[in-house]
Chain A
Amino acid sequence: MKKIKKFKNLEELKKAIDQQEASRKREKKKIIVVSSGTCGQARGSLKVIDALKKAIREEGLKDQVAIRITGCHGFCEAEPNIIIYPDRIFYQKLTPPDVRTIVKETLVEGRVVEKFLHRDPLTRERAWYENEIPFYQKQKRIVLGDNVFVDPTSLLEYLAIGGFRPFIKAVTKMKPDEIIQTVKQSGLRGRGGAGFPTGVKWEATRRAAGNPKYIICNGDEGDPGAYMDRSVLEGNPYRVLEGMMIGALAIGAREGYLYVRDEYPLAVRHVTMAIDHLYQAGLLGDNILGTDFSFDLHIAKGAGAFVCGEETALIASIEGRVGEPRQRPPFPAQKGLWRKPTCINNVETWANVPLIILNGADWFSSIGTSGSKGTKIFSLVGKINNTGLVEVPMGITLREIIYDIGGGIPDGKAFKAVQTGGPSGGCLPASMLDQIIDYESLTAAGSIMGSGGMIVMDEKTCMVDVAKYFLNFLRDESCGKCISCREGTQRMWEIVSAITEGQGKPGDLELLEELALATKEASMCGLGQTAANPVLSTLRYFRDEYEAHIYEKRCPAGVCKSLIRYAVIPEKCTGCEACKRACPTGAIQGTRKDVHLILYDKCIKCGACLEACRFEAIEAQRDEAITIVKEVKP
C-alpha cells in the first residue's frame, strides 16, 4: 500500500487537488469501472475482477487499460457490471468467462458485445451506453453519481473529483455562522426520516451551552430492504467524512463519531481506511493543515439493534449503555453524548453538505419542491424489474420511480402497493401512484419518507401478511421500555396473525385500530410512535382484504397458508409432471399427459408446485374446509 503523503498546509492540498484533476483529464488509458459494493461482491464481482486482470495481462493491454474498483453505482439488478470509459459502454450481469470475451472483442477489436448490454424489461431494447439506460435517465445522482469515479480506498481518487475543495472553501472563506446560514438556506432536511431542517439543528448545537461539542454520523441503517447509507459509506466514504468536517467546523465540535453497524463489513473497512488516510494526510487531528481547526473522528460499531437508529438510543449505545431511547427534551443538541451538545445527522445528510458548500445554497434549493429540497436516495426493492438504489429529485412521483426508473413489475403482474419508509412507514395503493414524493405529502398519505426504503408489491401480495411481517419485525426490534410499544406491537401482531390464520373475529379491526392509535400516541420514541403505521395504512387502503380474511376466511391474494389450498385447474394442466417433481411431500398424483391432482391431506402448502408450473395451472383457492363464523358483517 502506498503511503499517503502528508499535506503541510492548505496550499499543498489545493495543489494536489489541481494536479489530480488535471492528470485525470490527461488520462489516455481506457478505464474499466467495476462496481463492487456488497451487492456486486455477492453476485461475484470479485471473480470478475480477477478474470478481468488476467485477461488484460494475457492480451498485453496492461499499459492501455486501467481498472477502477468502485462501490455500488445503484443498479443492483445488473450486478456485476462494468463500464468502459471513455465511451461509457455498459455491460451487465457478467461472469468470469464473459469478461474474456469482452476484453477480446471490445478492448482489442473495438466491437460492442450485444448480448451483455442492458436490455430494457419493457421495450426489450438494448442500451449501449450507461447514460442511455432508462434506469439512470430520470435520476438526479448528485450524491451517488460520484461512486462511479471514485475508488473508495484511495484518497487521491477522491481529490481527483474535486474532493476537499468544499472543505478548503469552508475553512478559508466562510465563518461558522456563514456555513450554517448556507445550509439553512439550502433547505437541506435530515435524510434519516424525520426531515428536521439540518441548518436549524446545527445552529441549536452551536448556540447550546456546554463544551466540548460532538457530532455524530448516524449510519445505523436497519430497515429491511434498505441500504442507501451502506452504499454511500462503501462507495464514497470521504464525501461523508468531509461533510462531517465541515459540520464540525460550523458547530464548533472537536470530536465526532461515525456510528455504523457491524453487519456492514465493507462499509466499516472503507470508512476505517478513509479515516486512517485522512489522519496520514494531516486532514484530521490537531490544527488541520496549519489552521485553528482541530477534529478527531472515531468509529462506533453498532450491534444491529434497529432502535439504535433513534438518536437518544444511539447516544446511549456509544456511551456503552443499553441502546434505549430516553425522553426528549433535553434534545441531543442541548444534552447529547456525555451530556454535551451533540449534533446527529444521517449519512446521506452529511454526504450532501460538501455539495451545498461548493455549489451554494441556491443550487441545492433549485432542486426539489417548496418544502423539500435536493435529492433523496431510495432503495427500490421488491417486485420490481430494476432493483437498485435510485437517487431522485424531491417532487418526483411514485409512478415515475416505479415505472420509468424501476421498469415496472416483473412477469406482467399488476402493481398493488408500495411500502415506503421501512417498518415505520406505510403502504400506498395504486391510487396514490401519482403522489409526489416529499416529506409532507408522504406523511399526509399515511406513510413516511423514512430513510428511503421502497418496497414494491404486486397483486400476489397479501396486505394483511405484509402488516404481519412488519409487526413481527417491530415487536422484535422494539427496545421494550414503554409498555405501549412493547405490548402494543406484540398484541397487534397477535391479532393480525390470528386474522391470517383464519382466527379473526368481528371486532378485531376496531380493537386493532384502537390499539394502533394508543401505541402511536403513548410511546416515547419515534419507533413506537410510528410502529402502528403498517397497520393503520393497510387498514386505511386495504380494509376489504382484512374483511375478506375475517368474515369470508379468504385470502384474496392467495398467500395466507391457513386460508388457501392449492388445486390444479384441469383445463390448463398439460400433465408435464413438473409440479409432481417439485412437490416435497409427494402430494401430487397423476401420470404423464394426465391432469394431476393434489392430495390435500399430504399437501403442506409450500407453494413449490405453483412456482414450478409453467402453464399457470395451479391455483391458490379458498380452503373450503374452513368454517365461516356465524356473525354477519356489520
Chain B
Amino acid sequence: MITMKINGVEVKAEEGWTVLETAKFYGLEIPTLCHHEGLTPYGACRLCLVEIGEGPRAKLVSSCTYPAEEGLVVHTDTKRVVQARRMMIELMLSVAPYSKVIQDLASRFGVTRMRFKIRNEECILCGLCVRMCEEQMDGKAIGFQNRGYQRKISTPFDIRSEECRLCGGCIYICPACQLRCQGPQAETAICNACLTMEPTCLDFYDELQCWMYDAGRCGTCVREKKA
C-alpha cells in the first residue's frame, strides 16, 4: 500500500494506481476528458491537472498519468490548478465550440469568455478515438498525422483504411464531434446556458475539495480561512 496525501487527507493507494484513480477511489472528483477507464492513460487534455509537491518545487502534472507515490502531496483544486484548467478549456473551445462536453466544462468551471479566434476543427486531438480503435476494437485504422499545429487524426495516406470495420467506436467515444451543443452560436463561442451560479466565494481553499469542481464558486464552503 502506498500512503499519500490528497487535499490534506491521508489516503492509501494500491501499487500501480495513478493519482487520478486514487482520488476517484476516495470520491474526490477530478475532471477528465481524454481519460477513459478502458483505455491507456494518455495525458493530452490537461484537464486532470493536479498540483504535486510543496513550496517552490510544487508543479502541475496530469493526474491520469502520474503514478501514486509514497509520501506524495497532492492538491486537486488550488488556484494554480483552476487557472491552468480554465485556460485549457478556453483553448479547447476555440477549436471545438460546438462540443456539448466542452461547453458543459466551460459552464462548470466558469469560463465565460473565449479570447481566441475560432478555428472550428471539431476536434481537440484528445486521442480517445485512436486508442479506442487500437485497444478496444483491435483495429488500428486511425492514427495521428503530422505534429504541432498541423497534427490531425486520419487514416493512413488519407484513404479509407482496410482495417476499418465501420464499428463506430471512434464516433461513440468522441467528446467533440458527436454530441452537439444546441446552445451556442458561432459568433459567441460560449453559451454558458448551463451556468446557473454566480461566484460568491471569498477565497480559495487549497486544502478543500470543491464539489462544484471549482474551488468554491458555489459559496457553500465559505468559512473562516485557517490561520
A: residues with CB less than 8 A from B are 305, 307, 322, 326-327, 329-330, 474-484, 486-491, 494, 507, 511, 514-515, 517-518, 521-524
* Distance in angstroms between the alpha carbons of A564 and B17 in the assembled complex: 58
A514 proximity list for chain B (CB < 8 A): 87
B82 to chain A, nearest CB (A): 11
Q: Are A476 and B148 in contact (CB under 8 A)?
A: yes
Q: Do B147 and A307 touch (CB < 8 A)?
A: yes
Chain A CB within 8 A of B117 CB: yes
Chain B residue nearest in CB terms to A498: B117
Looking at B45, B46, B95, B124, the one whose CB has the most chain A CB atoms below 10 A away is B46
CB proximity of A129 to chain B, nearest CB, Å = 49
- A residues less than 8 Å from B157 (CB atoms): none
Given contact pairs A327-B43, A483-B125, A494-B117, A522 touches B49 in the complex (Cβ within 8 A):
yes
Q: Which of B62-70, B103-111, B134-142, B158-166 contacts A (4 or more CB under 8 A)?
A: B62-70
Contact B149 A484 (CB under 8 A): no
- Chain A residues with Cβ below 8 Å from B26 are none
Q: What's the Cα separation between A491 and B126 when bound, in Å?
A: 18
13 contacts between A and B (CB under 8 A): A307-B147, A327-B43, A329-B66, A476-B147, A477-B148, A480-B144, A480-B146, A482-B44, A482-B46, A483-B88, A483-B92, A494-B116, A494-B117
0 or 1 for each of B48-85: is its CB under 8 Å from A? (1 = yes): 01000000000111100111010000000000100110
Q: A327-B62, A481-B44, A522-B87 are in contact. Are A487 and B95 (CB under 8 A)?
A: yes
B residues in contact with A521, CB < 8 Å: 49, 59-60, 80, 84
Q: Are B88 and A522 in contact (CB under 8 A)?
A: yes
Bound complex: CA of A521 vs CA of B125, how far in Å?
A: 20
Q: Could you say which residues of chain B place their CB within 8 Å of the CB of A523?
A: 46
Residue B151 at the chain A interface, CB threshold 8 Å: yes
Interface check B115, CB cutoff 8 A: yes
The answer to whether B171 has its CB under 8 Å from any CB of chain A is: no
Q: Is B179 located at the chain interface by the 8 A CB criterion?
A: no
Contact of A327 among B65, B83, B117 (CB under 8 A): B65
Could you tell me if A305 and B69 are in contact, using CB atoms closer than 8 angstroms?
no
Q: Is the CB of B94 within 8 A of A329?
A: no
CB contacts (< 8 Å) of B218 on chain A: these are none
Q: Which residues does chain B contribute within 8 Å of A474, judged by CB atoms?
A: 148
Chain A residues, Cβ within 8 Å of B65: 326-327, 524
8 tightest A-B CB contacts, nearest first: A480-B151, A518-B87, A327-B65, A487-B91, A490-B149, A478-B148, A522-B84, A522-B46
Bound-complex Cα distance A477 to B146 (A): 10
By the criterion CB–CB under 8 Å, are B91 and A483 in contact? yes
Residues from chain A with a CB closer than 8 A to the CB of B147 are 305, 307, 476-480
Q: Contacts A476-B149, A480-B149, A521-B80 given; indicate if A486 touches B88 (C-beta within 8 A).
A: no
- Select from chain B the residue with minimum beta-carbon distance to A484: B46
- Shortest Cβ distance from A511 into B: residue: B115
Q: What separation, in Å, do the CA atoms of A329 and B125 have in the docked complex?
A: 24
**Residue pair A524, B43 in contact (C-beta under 8 Å):** yes
User: Max chain A CB contacts within 10 Å: which of B49, B88, B117?
Assistant: B88
Could you tell me if B80 and A484 are in contact, using CB atoms closer than 8 angstroms?
no
Q: Is the CB of B60 within 8 A of A522?
A: yes
Expressed in whole angstroms, the Cα–Cα distance for A484 and B116 within the complex equals 14
Q: Give A514 to B49 CA distance when docked, in angstroms.
A: 17
- How many Cβ-Cβ contacts under 8 Å join chain A to chain B? 102
Residues of B within 8 A of A327 (CB): 43, 61-62, 65-66
A477 to B94, CA, bound (A): 21
User: Which residue of chain B is the closest to A473 with respect to CB atoms?
Assistant: B148
- Which residue on B lies nearest to A490, using beta carbons? B149
The docked-state distance in angstroms from the alpha carbon of A478 to that of B144 is 14
Additional 4 contacts, C-beta under 8 A, given A483-B124, A507-B115, A524-B62: A486-B149, A487-B92, A487-B94, A518-B83
Partner of B43, one of A330, A478, A481, A491: A481
**Of all chain B residues, which has the CB nearest A330?**
B67
Whether B66 pairs with A480 at a CB distance below 8 angstroms is no
- Least CB distance, B123 to chain A, in whole angstroms: 11
- In the complex, A82→B127 CA distance in Å? 55
- B residues less than 8 Å from A479 (CB atoms): 147-148, 151
Shortest Cβ distance from A531 into chain B, in angstroms? 11
Across-interface contacts of B61 in A (CB, < 8 A) = 327, 524
Residues of A within 8 A of B62 (CB): 327, 524
Contact: A486 with B46, CB < 8 Å? no
**B44 / chain A contacts, CB cutoff of 8 Å:** 481-483
Minimal beta-carbon separation of B84 from chain A (angstroms): 4
Give Cα A524 to B42, complex, Å: 11
The chain A residue with its CB closest to the CB of B86 is A518
Most buried by B among A475, A477, A484, A494: A484
Nearest-neighbour CB distance to chain B for A456, whole angstroms, equals: 28
Considering the complex, give the chain A residue whose CB is closest to the CB of B67.
A329
Q: How far is the CA of A479 from the CA of B150 in the complex (A)?
A: 10
In the bound complex, what is the Cα–Cα distance between A481 and B88 (angstroms)? 13
CB-nearest residue of chain B to A322: B144
| Chain B, residue nearest A523 (CB) | B46
* CB of B66 to closest CB in A, whole Å: 6
CA of A146 to CA of B93 in the docked complex: distance in angstroms? 56
What is the minimal beta-carbon distance from A209 to any residue of chain B, in angstroms?
A: 14
Q: How far is the CA of A489 from the CA of B150 in the complex (A)?
A: 12
A305 surroundings in chain B (CB, below 8 A) = 147
Cβ of B80: which chain A residues have Cβ within 8 Å of it? 521
Give Cα A603–Cα B116 distance, bound, in whole angstroms: 33
Is A480 a contact partner of B91 (Cβ separation < 8 A)? no
| A326 to B62 alpha-carbon distance, docked (Å) | 11
Question: What's the nearest-Cβ distance from chain A to residue B148, in Å?
Answer: 4
On chain A, the residues within 8 Å of B88 by CB distance are 483-484, 518, 522
Q: Which A residues touch B83, using CB under 8 A? A: 517-518
Which of A326, A330, A478, A491 is within 8 Å of B116, CB to CB? A491
- Knowing A327-B61, A481-B44, A522-B84, the reply to whether A475 touches B91 (Cβ < 8 A) is no
- Pair A489/B148 contact, Cβ less than 8 Å: yes
Which residue of B has the minimal Cβ distance to A329? B67
Docked complex Cα distance between A486 and B121 (Å):
14
Measured CB to CB, the nearest residue on chain A to B115 is A511
B182 to chain A, nearest CB (A): 25
Chain B nearest CB, measured from A179 CB (Å):
30
Q: With the chains together, A439 CA to B163 CA distance in Å?
A: 50
Task: List chain B residues, Cβ under 8 A from A489.
Answer: 148-149
Given that A326-B65, A327-B43, A475-B148 are known contacts, is A480 also in contact with B125, CB under 8 Å in the complex?
yes
Q: How far is A487 from B123 in the complex, measured between Cα atoms in Å?
A: 12
In the bound assembly, the distance between CA atoms of A476 and B150 in angstroms comes to 7
